[in-house]
Structure 1
């Protein structure tokens, strides 16, 4: 009974050690089942130390030692697998062997075996996809119980003289089996509870971060300014519960919500040297209020004593800061420190997205203007000459052509959207073709064959116009015989295919400075729906040219 009581006293020491270990950053290694080599090394050192301490704290009994050494090896094996369990068991076993005694060899072998056995239990649960079971106190209890029973058997088999081995086992078997099994279960229970605590904190952080992210969506559509900053600061203040939240650009306060808002005003220039340093040096600054104090540069009566300043970065450029404050005697939770960093990244990503969309819209408008600039001079010159010629012989026809010309340019000027339907594209091209048919008289024929179910598919604006103009300008106008332009829209293996065909076969690959209209159409399609789509031109010399536009079945949206 004395042996049992003393062994349980040693278990109490182990529990204190395990508790202190669970409060260190190293314990976070146990939150994952994928260990690096450095992780294994750290765990090996800790559990080997525990096993060796168990030996030194042991109780001398008949030339042997009743001890809690197995706990270090067993828990190492359960948590880290056979590799770690064997390593800890072997090291602790060799240490025990060199301490001597008639059970030195048997104890050295049994400790190695116990660590390996626990590691095999770990492997079993991993194969079954039940890794969390290795932290189950019941598993730790029965694994250690089986390990200690095996140790007693090994002592009986190896230790000599056998009579002394039998007497020793009678004395130590029950105390060691009971104390070590219960001790391993208690330590594993402590580890499991700490892991659950970390999981709850992580879940709470994730929910809080998701709520903030959900509420922030759309608040930065027009960039970071006084109004959007005020809304963002209010959301962060409500969700984090910190004493105050401030948002700045590089020079002034854009918003301030919470304690101190009576003297920290939106529009004021940044007065804090801490904020200026964070912006200038592009780094996060944390004054925890204990070791480093925040001192308000505006008011001596300010209650704020700690601050986290997180730069808002777009690429490598600091465009402002988010600041979280706490007041005196209020602990600044680490979760809020992590949240502050995450929120700054979220705001930066949204601003980057806004900037990207703005630049994308500018590029789209520039491309549309470039296509318009290419179309208008050529077509206008030819159209005016055609109308002048027609007006001499048919005033009504000339008036119709003027209406078509007016309609064409009116739609041209209004077409500033990125996308339009195939129906709208055809209506626009139709006015162009009516004038060109008169210009070429009977020399030009137009054939249109379109799947009616595809008329409302969205495609980039000015997709058809450059291709149709190219067929006429660089095709039909180059041949003496009658010219035919065919416009076909049909389904092709789930995609939408648009063909602009002419019977001239005079297409020549454009120089870099020419053919911009077709190049822009191809680039815009690829940017919208991917490299598998776009414009391809196939020409059979003096026979036909086919410009193919391939789009996904849903169109470009």
Structure 2
């Protein structure tokens, strides 16, 4: 008969594990589990998940002479090992109180109530002390210890002793073996975290590749411009050399870390100084920059300004000023960045190709910025063809 209880409890443990697996696949919960640090709101949501699973474990348990073989401790300990005391302690208290009130006259109600709280506290204490590679082992160990506390309390608090010993003799092995379910639940979250790290590694590789593709194409033209100024305006030539060196320094310092937006604007201005020296009065650039210390991906604005100048302003067949406006505006919780020009206007096919990812290899500047923004923030460029010119906008936040 005890063997039947073991098989039944393993079946119920499998049910809880599979249910947790399905929950972890839901986008709202997967996004939480993937985080490196959890907010109070995250921990509150996770606590609800594990509390519900613990209560379900009690409802789904097997009644034997006033005791209930269940999976409650499995979920309490899993919550503590994975997410810490702010999850396991509320889960242990609430599910323990539920067990106490569910069968208040049951001889094992008080031992199960006490051991549930113990499991919540004990597993939570191990949260920051366990290396990720050992969480499965320690989770199972803490679960076994917690169930042994249950058994000891049943023996000490329950009468008659013959019935207490009969219950212990029947439920001990199923309860201990069932704790391997903790290993499966921990492994599910570990797999999510590993997948996240793999995705981050791929993103990092993509970032590096995209940044290498966004190399300046105007260096030779800049050098020719500087050479021409050396003859009749040496001071201007010196200023342009400083602008070029600033521009190149920013490019050489490219990495996957976010940089202060002020450095990004400095990079834009260095580029614009050289282009204005080349094209003279045909190009005017206006800056509308709010004071902000927000960080942004490197080399994210300059390619947009370059695109506005080369593909918007220069092809114009008139003698009017070409105007490019660079704007950085503080909003409530994010910063809006825009580059607007009064040039010939972007072709709708180009916009469609950027959004669909179907860009020719020789026209990847805008697409690379669009893709990098999507990798960082989940949303890329917003491109609008105006009556006269093009408006490109995007948002960043800390």
State TM-score, norm by structure 2. Answer: 0.59
Map 1:414-453 → 2, pairs under 5 A: 414-452=253-291
**Unpaired segments of 5 or more residues in structure 1?**
1-16, 51-129, 138-188, 221-228, 243-330
Q: Is the 8 A contact 1:449 1:489 kept in 2?
A: yes
1:525 to 361, 370, 373: 373
Using the alignment, how far apart are the partners of 1:343 and 1:504 within structure 2?
Answer: 57
| Distance change (3 Å), C-alpha of 1:196 and 1:529 | farther
* Match of residue 546 from structure 1: 391
Please tell me whether the aligned partners of residues 312 and 344 of structure 2 are also in contact (alpha carbons under 8 angstroms).
yes
Q: Does 2:303 correspond to 1:477?
A: no
Q: Following superposition of structure 1 onto structure 2, how do residues 263-342 of structure 1 map, counting pairs within 5 Å?
A: 333-334=176-177, 337-342=180-185
Q: Is the counterpart of residue 537 in structure 1 residue 380 in structure 2?
A: no
Q: Corresponding residue for 2:104?
A: 136
d(CA) in 2 for partners of 1:462, 1:393: 33
Q: Partners in 2 of 1:136 and 1:457 — Cα distance?
A: 57
More displaced 10-residue stretch of structure 1: 463-472 or 339-348: 339-348
Instruction: Kindly state the Cα deviation for residue 421 of structure 1 after the two structures are TM-superposed.
Output: 1.9
SS of structure 1 residue aligned to 2:384: strand
Mapped to 1, the partners of 2:180 and 2:101 lie a distance apart of 33
- Mark the CA change 1:203 to 1:521 in structure 2 (over 3 Å): closer, same or farther: farther
Aligned equivalent of 1:386? 225
- Coordinate RMSD, CA, aligned: 4.4
Distance 1:196 1:521, change over 3 A: farther
Residue 23 (structure 2) aligns with: none
Higher relative contact order (CA 8 A, sep 6+): 2
- The 1:32/1:404 distance shift into structure 2, 3 A limit, reads closer
SS in 1 for 2:129: helix
Q: In the superposition, relative to structure 1, how do residues 406 and 133 fare at CA in structure 2: closer, same or farther (>3 Å)? A: closer
Structure 2 distance, partners of 1:424, 1:387, is 24
1:205 touches 1:335 (CA, 8 Å); kept in 2? no
Q: Paired residue for 1:215?
A: 129
| Pairs within 5 Å for 1:187-198 | 189-190=106-107, 193=108, 197-198=111-112
Q: Do 1:444 and 1:484's aligned partners in 2 also have CA atoms closer than 8 Å?
A: yes
- Aligned equivalents of 2:345 and 2:127: distance in 1? 57
What displacement does 1:517 show? 2.5
Please, what TM-score do these two structures have when normalized by structure 1? 0.43
Contact 2:325-2:341 at 8 Å conserved across structures? yes
Contact 2:100 2:113 in 1 (8 A): no
Contact 2:99–2:112 (CA under 8 A) maintained in structure 1: no
Cα drift, residue 136 of structure 1: 3.1
Aligned residue for 1:75? none
Aligned to 1:367: 210
Supply the distance in 2 between the matched residues of 1:443 and 1:361 (Cα, whole angstroms). Answer: 39
More helix by share: 2
**DSSP 3-state at the match of 1:504:** coil
CA distance in 1, matches of 2:182, 2:102: 32
Q: CA deviation at 1:423?
A: 0.4
Q: Would you say the 8 A contact 2:140–2:182 is kept in 1?
A: no
Equivalent position to 2:327, from 488, 493, 518: 488
User: Separation in 1 of the partners of 2:139 and 2:344?
Assistant: 68
Taking the aligned partners of 2:312 and 2:328, their CA distance within structure 1 comes to 20
1:34/1:494 Cα in 2 relative to 1: closer, same or farther (>3 Å)? Answer: same
What are the ranges of 5 or more consecutive residues in structure 2 without an aligned counterpart?
14-53, 66-97, 145-173, 354-358
SS class of match (2:390): strand
| Mapped partners of 2:394, 2:336: distance in 1 | 6
Select the residue among 457, 464, 477 that pairs with 2:301.
464
